[in-house]
Structure 1
């Protein structure tokens, strides 16, 4: 996929047109002018060393900090694309006189000495393509969330940047003085930049970078080769799967909801949240989608992460989210050193939702784990001990299924008994019954199935509204909420169930805005929402297809695909009127939606025979 754009410092990123790179340890976002505008160290939830995305100053501005740009003098056109089946980005710049350069950006990730090598490092390689191009390198890291200057020292082939408690080193075969003074110079041969640990480069830089590029390309393409992609929309599915993989902190198996913090849900909304943590809910949807493609490595790593969470859970209680190392305390604060995306602060770090009560997490824990009782492909299948540990989670799901919580949308000032949360508690008990039956524990099977049946009856009784002939999002009101669409995916109701069809009709009528679906249309902590939530539209597409509206589903899916960025991705939210993307990016929910719908709607592989 490629896009030609006007060049120069006047280009602005108004629609989150950003290209992720990463290695499952660190990640970065490159804008459509080829500038690295977001990257955190030493991991995705660390302090940003390149926070230009949230600085409120266009990255091309001479005053911009927190940016790493390799610029062609007089650039007129820019083209960007990924190396096939990888997150390795190639950006080609050309001026009006035919001078051109090509910049390759990636984070090394490959197998070495029988283990994955994924350093806290970024590699940039620039080569002349035609003519006599002149370039300028602007490397301006920051520290303290934009509040403090960075001290530098230099050697003959490196520049050292002193951050807070650590330093990073740029090793390069480019003239160091040109980089320090940001001078224009002729690019007469390929140059290489390795920004990583503050250590001397032990080998020649050029062959080392070339080897890293070769091995990283092979590693990603080998991983993609193992995916069971649908016949149609393969490129879309592969790009979504690669990006979901980038959202996994491979060291522990945690899966973060997005690579960014504080991109507002819509303009000046104040709905700015830090999504660089592992939500039990989001991770469930991620592994569910990747399982459909056969990416079992993500599931296995995440299950190891979950086992640590379950073991540390007090009385079976599970938080809605944790840090990538399993940290339970994620105190939320505002960083004033950055004014926010396009000046729309605040910039939040941490997320107070870790203190909330969200009962759906119990179901998602068990839904993720239950596959391990059945899937013989896994290196470690689940057994009796795992089942007994999960029963503590199931006990709590049973206890709270009809109790108020903050719900999946994490309302901060009110609680209700949410139908979606109750249904997830039902799923916890229902799937525990399945696991017990698989293990031959018939007494436990009947025990959990009885609980599941009781919760099911309670939900149908408490959530159904005779007056409006639909299910309500809460037991106490008559609320429309797109989460009710998920009752089908959970197998709580069947596609033929008249109650489900009536609820789906009400949801589509009340929450659909053209191509897009709102989460809800009632006032919340911040007023009435203005943006649509992309995954809700994908939920609608699945429901339309499964209830027999195949053409409607396909048409809506094709429309949603037009909303993607040049990189082929989506953020969390979208403006139903302008089509502008908002919210943290790239967002796992939205990528999951594209994968699930493509798998569901695609023609079978037999169609090519």
Structure 2
């Protein structure tokens, strides 16, 4: 059975990502890209579906682990009765080759170790041919995929597994390298693991060096930024929502989705996080990815795209995988890509507005695209949609969706006003005001003194916490205060925020999921806006305590079982952590920048005074560890 979600750590090379368990087993890895078919799928099945274990032969070891400084180099220490060793795991890349490296170092005494490699392509369904090269490397091939295993440890085959047994004494170093490449290309040359280690360490530490370390939460912010970088693709600029598919929102449940794609909704949160940290290069790459992805007819705008901007994300189920701890089905692809979600127009226009305020390069074509999106939104903003949470229970007039349609027009108006861009301002302002009135009239329940999930219902929704954050109404508005109080009373469980009540039939799925971590960070952001700083700090501190031992967060958390749930590591959770930390560190953080100056008819000053200091940090390129 797979480990607990929080017992995994992530390593990656800005092309793909692997999950390493505390027990030394790599249970998830896709080559060559985040969304490629996995060659290790034990996370969603069992060891027969692919994994790579490097650990002491005895199972009584004491285990501790950490990332080496500000890197994605994982160090796992095993202490046994006979001695202790450290397993150093990291990923690198060469042209057309991805390398997974595991170095075992003896600390004291002598430890009997075991390596067990089970390679299974196509999500555990294809057993490769194994042959030994003249230089004693092993070649594992099936179709277009090839793995090369390189080590000085003697290897043997047993039960369709590659086994290595070896002893490590104090001062010894034993290296393993597993390299992926296309089977029809020349076999890559031998690989020097120790040289790669130094190169990868330099890459990550150099990347993180410019991050300002002020504030008591700087360690958490840096680790979250490193995680965000690990989820970004070095060449396309796309940032995937998570490195996995089908990790459940409830153990044994069916809310199991593929998150290895790029959501437009993440756009503004991502830009604020990157710009606040000084990563202008990454922000520019993400913005360029966004522009390429949404190019085309405005009525074809999707809520998510592939890593390179692909549009066809066909969803299907993999019946031979039993699911994480029997949580079926396992899904590949995501049918929600075909949903209509009006809020993405607001996210895109807000992101491009933020980019302008920060000084990221733009051109006339960018404004032309924005005008085309706004022109299409004019014709559809008053129609029902599928909503932010991608429920599959039918379209409604979701309040948050309408608010984000307002954001789209507001940011378009402000882009024109502040940057002298030609636009039909009178018409846009009129539509903006019309949407605002519609939301206040139809999305607010007077009896509850709260905005509601959709027009005409009484149900609440955590996305309503975004109303003051995006500047739709001031945080001091009585309707905002009433909404916050209603959410605190009805959607907060054990101190954390549920997205909405998942009663049977309300969203087309069985009930039950954990508390959504990003929503809990939004609650802390609301406390900041209202000046309830002590409450914001207390909630933020508690949220930080949910991170695992190496600082990673999944999508959700179950307070009753005290377990992380959902896909992992989750970009949205780490983005929310970064932005809330910035908000708490003082005025001028993202929550102030988006909400400042809001009024009854809306409005925001946009990206604030810190934008001028962002450019002081070096611009980063799209490189990746080991890229040379």
TM-score under structure 1 length normalisation: 0.90
1:182 counterpart (158, 163, 167): 163
- Separation of aligned partners in 2, 1:119 and 1:369: 35
CA RMSD of aligned residues (A): 2.2
Query: 1:26 touches 1:41 (CA, 8 Å); kept in 2?
Result: yes
Tell me what 1:393 maps to.
373
- Separation of aligned partners in 1, 2:239 and 2:304: 10
- Separation of aligned partners in 1, 2:269 and 2:520: 15
Tell me what 1:402 maps to.
382
Query: 1:232 touches 1:598 (CA, 8 Å); kept in 2?
Result: no
Query: 2:267 touches 2:348 (CA, 8 Å); kept in 1?
Result: no
- Separation of aligned partners in 1, 2:4 and 2:369: 48
Cα-to-partner distance string for 1:440-465 (whole Å, 9 max, x where unaligned): 13654444333322222221122122
Question: Matched residue of 1:252: which SS?
Answer: coil
- Separation of aligned partners in 2, 1:117 and 1:592: 30
Tell me what 1:5 maps to.
none
Is 1:49 the counterpart of 2:32? The answer is no
1:165 counterpart (133, 138, 144): 144
1:90 counterpart (48, 65, 75): 75
- Separation of aligned partners in 2, 1:187 and 1:522: 52
- Separation of aligned partners in 1, 2:434 and 2:271: 29
Tell me what 1:502 maps to.
482
Distance 1:88 1:183, change over 3 A: closer
TM-score under structure 2 length normalisation: 0.87
Query: 1:229 touches 1:293 (CA, 8 Å); kept in 2?
Result: no
Query: 2:2 touches 2:42 (CA, 8 Å); kept in 1?
Result: no
| C-alpha deviation, 1:178, in angstroms | 8.4
Query: 1:143 touches 1:164 (CA, 8 Å); kept in 2?
Result: no
Tell me what 1:211 maps to.
195
Is 1:32 the counterpart of 2:32? The answer is no
Is 1:342 the counterpart of 2:320? The answer is no
Cα-to-partner distance string for 1:293-332 (whole Å, 9 max, x where unaligned): 22222221111111212323x2443111111121111111
Number of residue-to-residue matches in the alignment: 575
1:568 counterpart (545, 551, 554): 551
After alignment, is 396-405 or 344-353 more displaced?
396-405
Structure 2 gaps, min length 5: 589-628
Q: How does 1:374-385 map to 2 (within 5 A)?
A: 374-376=357-359, 378=360, 381-385=361-365
Tell me what 2:349 maps to.
366
Tell me what 1:7 maps to.
none
Query: 1:21 touches 1:88 (CA, 8 Å); kept in 2?
Result: yes
Query: 1:26 touches 1:42 (CA, 8 Å); kept in 2?
Result: yes
Query: 1:486 touches 1:539 (CA, 8 Å); kept in 2?
Result: yes
- Separation of aligned partners in 2, 1:430 and 1:372: 15
Tell me what 1:79 maps to.
64
- Separation of aligned partners in 2, 1:283 and 1:235: 24
Query: 1:159 touches 1:176 (CA, 8 Å); kept in 2?
Result: no
- Separation of aligned partners in 1, 2:544 and 2:533: 17
Cα-to-partner distance string for 1:76-101 (whole Å, 9 max, x where unaligned): 2111110101111011112112x222
1:492 counterpart (449, 452, 472): 472
Question: Matched residue of 2:6: which SS?
Answer: coil
After alignment, is 577-586 or 464-473 more displaced?
464-473
| C-alpha deviation, 1:340, in angstroms | 0.8
Cα-to-partner distance string for 1:163-185 (whole Å, 9 max, x where unaligned): 33221212223334489752422
Cα-to-partner distance string for 1:115-161 (whole Å, 9 max, x where unaligned): x9794221111122222222111111102322232221112431111
Tell me what 1:120 maps to.
98
- Separation of aligned partners in 2, 1:171 and 1:308: 39
- Separation of aligned partners in 2, 1:531 and 1:348: 20
- Separation of aligned partners in 2, 1:65 and 1:361: 37
Is 1:267 the counterpart of 2:267? The answer is no
- Separation of aligned partners in 2, 1:170 and 1:596: 41
Is 1:534 the counterpart of 2:547? The answer is no
Query: 1:108 touches 1:117 (CA, 8 Å); kept in 2?
Result: no
- Separation of aligned partners in 2, 1:358 and 1:30: 35
Question: Matched residue of 1:543: which SS?
Answer: helix
Tell me what 2:597 maps to.
none
Question: Matched residue of 2:54: which SS?
Answer: strand
Cα-to-partner distance string for 1:329-361 (whole Å, 9 max, x where unaligned): 111111012111112221100111011111111
Distance 1:339 1:178, change over 3 A: closer
Tell me what 1:113 maps to.
none
Distance 1:542 1:311, change over 3 A: same
- Separation of aligned partners in 1, 2:307 and 2:393: 27
Tell me what 2:534 maps to.
551
After alignment, is 400-409 or 218-227 more displaced?
218-227
Cα-to-partner distance string for 1:514-551 (whole Å, 9 max, x where unaligned): 22111011532123334211111111111112112111
- Separation of aligned partners in 2, 1:499 and 1:581: 33
1:16 counterpart (6, 25, 34): 6
Query: 1:282 touches 1:589 (CA, 8 Å); kept in 2?
Result: yes
Is 1:152 the counterpart of 2:142? The answer is no
Question: Matched residue of 2:110: which SS?
Answer: coil
